[in-house]
Every structure is written in structure tokens, then in C-alpha cells.
Amino acid sequence: MPAIVVHGGAGTIRKEERIPKVIEGVKEAVLAGWRELKKGSALDAVEEAVKVLEDNPLFNAGTGSVLTLDGRVEMDAAIMRGKTLEAGAVAGIWGVKNPISVARKVMEKTDHVLLSGEGAVKFARLMGFEEYNPVTDERLKQWEELRKKLLEKGEVKHWKKLNELIKEYPEVLRSTVGAVAFDGDEIVAGTSTGGVFLKTFGRVGDTPIIGGGTYANEVAGASCTGLGEVAVKLALAKSATDFVRLGMDAGAASEAAISLATRYFGKDTMGIIMVDSRGNVGFARNTKHMSHAFMRDGMDEPVAGV
């Protein structure tokens, strides 16, 4: 049974007026993916759904990505095919509109899984991706305000200070977008992010780490969102698919994965979406919000929420 689920990031949406816009954004993405899924390709469905989210400045991926401590955009993305275990990813890439599409090219055009930094940018140019500036005025303004707050707290060992800032200003944690789809034959998972506001230059989160923030095999696929270091340490996306292999459906596996994150690292850390090989959809979070939407056969409209 074909199915697709998307997320727009786990964390806290402080401004209530943003919630309807965010829900509309994930609905638009899941419908774009569903149109491709009905044509028969989970791979195309995931790429298109994530591209819609990357192009929406409400979300922290592609256009609207958050800025590093030194005011740059460094984006991560990954995509993985469950049937063949083929995967492609980019880390710390800049100057492109849709990192998820570059990640797909890494998977399809190279023998590698992950390209990073300048190498990823050079590869993107070779593949015909044009120069693009994803920085928005809103993100630039937020960066200036948050960086001032961080400097007030001291810049030495700023990555420790940033954890304190996240607690005080939860909007710092703007997370990630992702999609997982099953076309009746194959499961595909994809994830894209601008990372965490004011992150240390060169920091790579869970999104492009296969098994950490993105994973798919023959039984299930998963895309994670939240504190990337948590997902990496738990190999959370892979762990979630292992729960399915042990007999859980996507819903139960999602809850089990988030329980694992909560047990080791506490609340307000992670969210996850999943699809299994029976077309079951799952999603769970231990944060206040995680925008999401899904479609399955027999549904006329997507179900969405935060």
C-alpha cells in the first residue's frame, strides 16, 4: 500500500500564528510527493516532497536555512533507497537551492555516499546546479539577534553556551525537514537541513549520516529531526528500522525510537517519521511540536498536525 509522510522539524514553534502556515507547508510537500508516488516512484516522491520544504522559507532547509556562528549557511542532506541500500549525502554544502537533489546525484553518479564542504559544492557545479543564495532577510535578522545574546553569555567555548541559549530561546533549534515513502515495492527516505542556529563552523549533524538521521532498508525507512548529535549517538534512524524488523509496525517503532532518545538524553531532543513495507505510517516526538503530514491509499486529503 503506497504511503508517504513528511516532517518540517521538531522543536518549539513559539509564535502561534506560524502554526497554520507550517501545517499548510507540510501539506503542500506531502501532496507534491503523493503526486509522484502515484506515478510509481518513491524515490521521486521523496525528492519532490523535500524540495518543496527546501523552497519554503518557513523551514530550516534550502531557502531559509539558519546561519552558523560566523554567518554562513552550511546545509546537509541525504537520500537512501531501501531496496538496494544505495545512498547519497552532502554535508556543509552552500550555494545551492536544493541539497536533496545534489545528494541524489551523489547516489546516482558516484561510487561514494557522502561529499562535504567545498568538494560537495564543486560536485554540484559539475552536475549543473547553479549558484544560489539561500539566506533570507528574516534569518539574517534572527542571526544578528541570537548572536548578540550568545556573546552576552561569553564566546569562549560557545558550543557549551549554545546549549544554554537553546533552553532560553528554543527557536535556535529549528531542526530539519524530511520525507519517507513506500511505492508498493521500495521504501525511500530523505532528509535536509540547515543545521542549528549559530552552530560551530564545520559542524555536521545527523541528517547526512546514514543510519543516524536518515535510513531505509527493505522493512522500513526513517527520517529524524531534532538535536543531531543525539540521533548520531543512537544511530536512531537505523535503530528505528531494527524495531520494525523485530516485529513492530512503523507507529510503534517510532514511539520506541523516541523513548530511546528520551531515556538517554531527555525530553525536547528528537522527532522521527517512518513508513514500513506494509504501508504503515509512524511519527513521534518528545518536543512540543513537530509539523508533519501523511497520505496513504484511500485518503482524499492529507492528515497534518504539529
What tens digit of pLDDT does each residue of 254-284 get?
999 999 999 999 998 999 999 999 999 999 9
CATH of the domain at 180: 3.60.20.30
What pLDDT shows up at residue 175? 66
Residue 176 sits in which domain range? Answer: 3-305
Q: Are 73 and 91 in contact (CB under 8 A)?
A: no
Q: Are 273 and 180 in contact (CB under 8 A)?
A: yes
Q: Which amino acid is at 211?
A: G
CA distance 124 to 4: 27
What pLDDT shows up at residue 200? 78
227 assigned to a ligand binding site: yes
173 assigned to a ligand binding site: no
Residue ranges, the chain, pLDDT below 70: 150-175
Give residue-wise pLDDT tens across range 136-189: 999 899 888 877 776 665 554 445 555 565 555 555 555 699 999 999 999 999
Residues contacting residue 20 through CB under 8 Å, at least 6 positions apart? none
CA distance 21 to 3: 23
228 assigned to a ligand binding site: yes
Active site residues: 176
Count of domains forming the chain: 1
128 assigned to a ligand binding site: no
